[in-house]
Amino acid sequence: MTEMVYGAVPAQGGEPILPKWWRTLDKWSMSCVLILFGVGLLLGLAASPPLAARNGFDPFHYVERQAIFGGAALVAMLLTSMMSPILVRRLAVLGFLCAFVALALLPVFGTDFGKGAVRWYSLGFASFQPSEFLKPGFVVVAAWLFAASQEINGPPGRLWSFALCMAIVAMLVMQPDFGQACLVLFGWGVMYFVAGAPMLLLVAMAGFVVLGGMVAYSSSEHFARRIDGFLNPDVDPTTQLGYATNAIREGGLFGVGVGEGQVKWSLPDAHTDFIIAVAAEEYGLILVLIIILLYASIVVRSLLRLMRERDPFIRLAGTGLACMFGVQAMINMGVAVRLLPAKGMTLPFVSYGGSSLIAGGIALGMLLAFTRTRPQGEFGDILRGRG
């Protein structure tokens, strides 16, 4: 009767958001992220008291901050992962524009906190590093451009995204922040690779990289010293690397015990770049392997899920985000075990750092949104006899 009088309640189109989110989400990856965040807090408890002592705070000052920022990051991640890819793309493009402007204005309003590179905005209670937010935004924009270029009569998206990439790299190099610049370049390269870069070009690029490396090695003494130091089988124990290597050795399989580690007192970057050394010393190889496993599962699972994805934009954006995330973790840990030459890079979601945490949360939220299960038109394939 009511319906006859007032008209029918408009039917809900499709599933409610939360059940749909839960059903389609890559729950394994999300669990890995949550565990990683927990590990980050645990290691913060171990690694940051020396820093707090040096700066005259309570022993767990940085852990508290990490927990607050981490909570915000988790909320951001969950919210982002609930969005549809289109909404993610729209917001990410807007965010990218803001971050781009912020990055461009850094030389004017930024501060270097006495570290020699202008990378931050000081907000009083916290600092803000635009390049961290720029990375996921750039991946989305570039993926959009790549995807658009794959349409018939589409814009020349590859060229545009390459120009954009170069502009960002140039700004990052000027700061200077070679690590982030390399990450951005790497992210673009991976997307170009998946978007179908010609094989010949890839071989030529590999050749150029080797050639450039050799030229740099023979002409730049600084570069040559780093490489020599890397190739030299003996580590100078007074360097950060020496301390890190020694810490890993001291830790052994099961670690020296909670709170017993020494390396955090000697390494200035124990809470960021060398947090894996702290983990290895106090908790041993076990925890390190778990951390590596967590990163590997997030990246590999995401890539495998993206293989089934038909939408080129989602595929490319997901690839860029997953690879950037993975490579950052890999470089960080590879440096600590001397598989790679020294380069400062944070361990995403574990190292201390507000911007990096929240930006990492947003990036992972996007990744989770992109890797959600979606109807991929398999039915149509079967119908058309191509399945």
Partner 1 sequence: MSRIPLRPLARILEARSKGENPDVIERENIRQRHEEMQDRARARAEGRLLVLGVFFFCAFSVVGARMGLLATSEAQEPLASAQGANIATQRADIVDREGRILATNFETHSLYAQPPLMVDPVAAAAGLAQVFPDLDKERLIKDFTGKRKFIWIKKRISPEQKQAVHDIGDPGLLFGPREMRLYPNGMLAAHVLGGAGFGKEGVNAAEVIGVAGVEKQFDGYLRDPANGAKPLKLSLDLTVQAAAERVLLGGMKIMNAKGASSVLMNVHTGEVISVASLPAFDPNDRPRPPTSGFDPSDSPLFNRAVQGVYELGSVYKIFTAAQAVDLGLVNSETVIDTSGPMRIGGFPIGEFRNKNYGKLSVADIIVKSSNRGTGRLAMQIGSKRQQDFLNSLGMFDPTPFEIVEAQGGQPLFPKQWGELSTVTISYGHGLSTSPMHLAAGYAAIANGGHYVSPTILRQKGPQYGPRVMSPTAARQARKMLRKVVTSGTASFGEVPGYAVGGKTGTADKPKPRGGYYEDKVIATFATLFPAHDPKYVLVVTLDEPSILAYGKKRRTAGWTAVPVAAEMIGRIAPLLGLRPEVEPGETAGITLTSN
CB closer to partner 1, 242 vs 344: 242
205 binds partner 1 (CB under 8 A): no
289 binds partner 1 (CB under 8 A): yes
Q: How far, CA to CA in Å, does 168 sit from each of 4, 96, 103, 144, 178? A: 60, 11, 9, 17, 11
Contact 322, 137 (CB under 8 A): no
| CA gap 159, 182 in Å, rounded | 19
Residue keyed to tokens 């290691």: 43
CB closer to partner 1, 173 vs 339: 339
Number of chain positions touching partner 1 (CB under 8 A): 54
Q: How far, CA to CA in Å, does 277 sit from each of 239, 339, 370? A: 13, 14, 33
φ/ψ bin of 228: left (φ > 0), alpha (ψ from -120 to 50), beta (otherwise): alpha
Shortest Å distance, C-beta 334 to partner 1: 6
Q: Cα 285 from chain centroid? A: 23
54 binds partner 1 (CB under 8 A): no
Instruction: Please report, as residue ranges, which positions from 246 to 275 form the binding site for partner 1 (by CB under 8 A).
Output: 246, 248-253, 262, 265
Return the DSSP state at 152.
Answer: T
Shortest Å distance, C-beta 309 to partner 1: 8
CB closer to partner 1, 106 vs 347: 347
Shortest Å distance, C-beta 155 to partner 1: 16
Q: Which of 96, 133, 188, 295 binds partner 1 (CB under 8 A)?
A: 295
Shortest Å distance, C-beta 120 to partner 1: 29
Contact 337, 314 (CB under 8 A): no
Q: Which of 304, 373, 378, 387 binds partner 1 (CB under 8 A)?
A: 304
| CA gap 242, 246 in Å, rounded | 6
330 binds partner 1 (CB under 8 A): yes
Residue 146 is encoded by which pair of tokens? Answer: 């790549």
Residues lying near partner 1 in the complex (CB under 8 A): 150-152, 190, 193-196, 232, 234-238, 242, 245-246, 248-253, 262, 265, 280, 284-285, 288-289, 292-293, 295-296, 299-300, 303-304, 306-307, 310, 312, 315, 319, 323, 326, 330, 333-334, 337-339, 384, 386
